[in-house]
């Protein structure tokens, strides 16, 4: 019991310090930057431009740069898909990819950014 408590309270700062260190050593951008999360975790399927990579298209990713797609989904719907997955069996819950729930809103911001105007 006591040991579990220890880990619950102290593992978070340790992880944070490690990721801060990694963030600072690999780039000059602020640590905890969601752009980095996107690059490391999402780009594989969604591509640097949000249109979807070849692999992503085979999985059935939407084209984030398509205004029709953008207007077809609300932020709430997107978030719901990101948290629970969708009917598409190729789409994994983002928590399974190790994404911090606190990053979901800023990630939606990035996804919306691909929509341009």
Cα–Cα distance for residue pair 18/11, rounded to 1 Å: 11
86 forms part of the interface with ligand HEC (CB under 6 A): yes
78 forms part of the interface with ligand HEC (CB under 6 A): yes
Structure token digits, residue 6: 């220890």
Cα–Cα distance for residue pair 100/32, rounded to 1 Å: 10
Q: Which of 36, 39, 51, 73 binds ligand HEC (CB under 6 A)?
A: 73
Structure token digits, residue 115: 């929509």
Cα–Cα distance for residue pair 88/48, rounded to 1 Å: 22
The owner of tokens 């911001």 is 109
Q: How far is the CB of 15 from ligand HEC (least distance, A)?
A: 18
Stretch that binds ligand HEC, among 6-14, 20-28, 40-48 (CB under 6 A): 40-48
Q: Which residues of this protein are in contact with ligand HEC, per CB under 6 A?
A: 37, 41-42, 44-46, 56, 59-62, 73, 77-78, 81-82, 86-88, 90-91, 94, 97, 99, 107, 111
């Amino acid at each position: 019991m006591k040991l579990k408590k220890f880990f619950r309270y102290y593992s978070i700062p340790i992880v944070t310090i490690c990721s801060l260190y990694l963030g600072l050593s690999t780039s000059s951008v602020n640590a905890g930057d969601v752009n980095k999360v996107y690059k490391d975790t999402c780009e594989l399927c969604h591509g640097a431009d949000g249109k979807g990579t070849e692999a992503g298209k085979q999985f059935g990713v939407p084209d984030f740069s398509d205004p029709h797609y953008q207007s077809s989904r609300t932020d709430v719907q997107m978030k719901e898909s990101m948290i629970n997955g969708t009917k598409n069996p190729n789409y994994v819950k983002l928590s399974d990819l190790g994404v911090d729930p606190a990053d979901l809103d800023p990630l939606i911001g990035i996804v919306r950014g691909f929509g341009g105007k």
